[in-house]
Amino acid sequence: MTASGSEPRETGSIHHLHAHQFDDLVPRALANVELRGALAKATNTIRNRRAIALEGIDDLQKLRGQAKAIKTEALAHLDEHLETFERHATANGIQVQWAADAESARAMVLKIAIKNGTRLAVKAKSMVSEEIGLNDALIDAGIVPVETDLGEWIVQLAEEPPSHILAPAIHKRRREIRDLLARVLGRPMPDDAAGLTEVARNELRGRFAQAELGISGANFLVAETGSFLLIENEGNIRLTTSLPKIHVAVVGIEKIVPRLQDLGPLVRIITRSATGQPISCYQTLVTSPKTSLEDDGPEEIHLILLDNGRSKLLEDDLTAETLRCIRCSACLNVCPVYRQIGGHAYGSVYPGPIGAIFTPLIAGMHAASQLPGASSLCGACREVCPVDIDIPGVLLHLRHRAAEGDRSTGGRPASDPQTAEKNRVMRRGFRLWRWAMGSSRRFEIFGALGRLLATVVGRVPSLAKYAGPLGGWTNGRAVPRSPGRSFRSSDVARRLRREEEDRKR
């Protein structure tokens, strides 16, 4: 299971990716009234909280600029910062490893787990862990992974993937959670959120104490000191990194910042953007394992630096912006598409606008080329992004990559078969359109044909299902009433033409 010997890969991989089913997943999500109710309520709430939290900052644009500059600088010299980080972290006693892909990272975690006789591993919520499918790998090796973030624990018990980067159980209503816990734990559950939270605290306490291994991600790696920062509200990350003897952090290489002082602006903006709090409850800066037998804390800390296709994004200044992301999820909450379809419909552990660009960039266009289409390009995502990622720009860039190809694809279109078919039909349609618009005679003929069709379908709406390639447009829309005759043949148009001729004379 080691990466050595395997061929260098063009792209990374994302666990359980089924973004190619996007067209099937969306109608299912839209038909789920319960889901849409939960989503509307939740995203509105977070959005408002964020807006209020940011009102308090006089110099929001300055802070955004700082955050962006820090991440930009880090990425411009990513190789050097990673080497600096490795040097300092190693000197501090942290064991640093590099994983080129998901398989390699999984193998490293398993090796550490097995070496220490792990039967139970407690986990802090981590997107990278979802990305590489760590839980399934642990289970296959006979190790029980227990998610300890409340929302993540709930979706783990429900055997579902998280549907939101920050609030994994955002799609679930309270009574759904109550019934789920009652079923899994085999006893009646309280009705209120506080009661259910208490149940989670008591259930998980014992797990923290038993676990041989704690697994987390990290929000930021500090090159200058070899430390990493963990941000949370619940205290489960503190427990995960305090009680077990061994702590493993799996972290994307883009999480690096050059200096310790860079954490200030980033901490200031990340929680406001994420949950609307001025600051999260806990930020834990880990610099080394405990230094003597008597101390508290883990005896060993392992840090795995994961590439999994990220370094490839640096080839292009636009796609490189994606690596600035600090996973605050503000773009999900404002996206008109996410707010309707929710996270699961994206078929990727990274949903929403950032997921629509990050997923195909990491896993390859052939696996997720429909996702960049899941946007109205309204730009709300960019407006709220704390590090000013040009998400609409990258979306367009990826649509172009799917339809025409670019340097990275060798000038050939790169997409999954569904997107390729859609693009073929669209290209044919626009070719026809261009020809029809080419002369006034053809324009009139096509106009008359269109009016005729609209009249017929207007009378017999069931005919719309035979729209063929136009089905994507006609499904879910009523055919507008035909005007009977064209604008060009109306009295107004005739008078305008006469006036135009008079002026010319």
Query: 158, 161, 282, 300: which one contacts other proteins (CB under 8 A)?
Result: 282
Longest CA span, the chain = 101
* By CB under 8 A, residue 149 contacts other proteins: yes
Question: Which amino acid is it at 274?
Answer: A
DSSP string for residues in 78-138:
HHHHHHHHHHHHHHHT-EEEEESSHHHHHHHHHHHHHHTT-SEEEE---HHHHHHTHHHHH
* By CB under 8 A, residue 189 contacts other proteins: no
Distances (CA, A) of 115 to 109, 212, 373: 10, 11, 45
214 bridge partner residues: 122, 247
- 365, with CB counted inside 10 A (0-12, 13-18, 19+), is buried
Q: Which is nearer to other proteins, 253 or 330 (CB)?
A: 253
* By CB under 8 A, residue 246 contacts other proteins: no
Q: Which is nearer to other proteins, 47 or 399 (CB)?
A: 47
**441-480 binders of other proteins (CB under 8 A):** none
- Return d(Cα 279, Cα 336) in angstroms, integer: 27
Query: 17, 263, 331, 403: which one contacts other proteins (CB under 8 A)?
Result: 263
What H or E segment, with its residue span, contains residue 355? helix 352-363
**475-504 binders of other proteins (CB under 8 A):** none
* By CB under 8 A, residue 134 contacts other proteins: no
* By CB under 8 A, residue 33 contacts other proteins: no
Q: Nearest CA to 248 among 205, 299, 207?
A: 299
Contacts with other proteins, 312-341, as mask; x by CB under 8 A: xxxxxxx-xx--------------------
DSSP string for residues in 240-286:
HTTSSSEEEEEEEGGGEES-GGGHHHHHHHHHHHHTS-SS-SEEEEE
* By CB under 8 A, residue 227 contacts other proteins: yes
- Return d(Cα 473, Cα 480) in angstroms, integer: 12
Query: 20, 29, 131, 168: which one contacts other proteins (CB under 8 A)?
Result: 168
Query: 29, 78, 213, 385: which one contacts other proteins (CB under 8 A)?
Result: 78
Q: Which is nearer to other proteins, 23 or 316 (CB)?
A: 316
Report angle CA 117, 122, 124 to the nearest 5 degrees: 140
**293-312 binders of other proteins (CB under 8 A):** 294-297, 305, 307, 311-312
Strand 300-306 relative to strand 95-99: parallel, antiparallel, unpaired?
parallel
Query: 18, 268, 451, 488: which one contacts other proteins (CB under 8 A)?
Result: 268
Query: 290, 366, 451, 488: which one contacts other proteins (CB under 8 A)?
Result: 290
Binding window for other proteins (CB under 8 A); candidates: 168-176, 211-219, 419-427, 472-480: 168-176
Binding window for other proteins (CB under 8 A); candidates: 19-27, 138-146, 264-272, 430-438: 264-272
# binding residues, other proteins (CB under 8 A): 106
Residue reference for tokens 């500059």: 69
- To other proteins, the closest distance from the beta carbon of 337 in angstroms equals 20
Cβ proximity of 236 and 204 under 8 Å? yes
* By CB under 8 A, residue 292 contacts other proteins: yes
* By CB under 8 A, residue 154 contacts other proteins: yes
Q: Which is nearer to other proteins, 209 or 448 (CB)?
A: 209
